[in-house]
Amino acid sequence: MSDCLFCAIAAGSVAAEIVLESEHIVAFLDTRPVFKGHVLLVPRTHVATLPDLPDDLALPFVAAGRRLATAMVAGLGAQGSFVCANNVVSQSVPHLHLHVIPRTKGDGLRGFLWPRVPYDSPQEMAEYAARLRSVL
């Protein structure tokens, strides 16, 4: 996609601090990191969201995410990582990207997934599960 920033980075026409690349993926440092070492992992092929990711790219994409999560600990001294992806809502660039963010206990990251909305009852919870199962 000609106007996609992440496609341009994957193609090498826009500079980025690349940390991992292969035939299928490119991972680079986020220019607005939550914490230093925050990486964005993208498929080289333009894919808008995770549901759009072709099956043949799923394994290389997830495997690279796993390697990056491991690297946060081994290379940066983090205690763990936070791994997430937005799909459409809050997706600043409409190209699938997995955030891999180094984490350390007490690092101050709070409220990233809040507010939480509890189910009104066990029946409502079962209803939501049934709705998901019906389409899976």
Instruction: List, for residues 65-95, the tens digit of each pLDDT value.
Output: 999 999 999 999 999 999 999 999 888 899 9
- CB of 57 closer than 8 Å to CB of 43: yes
Q: What is the pTM of this model?
A: 0.90
Under-50 pLDDT residues of the chain: none
For each of the domains in the chain, give its residue range(s) and CATH number, in order of start.
Answer: 5-109 (3.30.428.10)
* pLDDT for the residue 109: 86
Which residues, in sequence order, are CB contacts of 44 under 8 Å at separation 6+?
Answer: 10, 23, 24, 25, 26
Q: Which two tokens stand for residue 44?
A: 């080289």
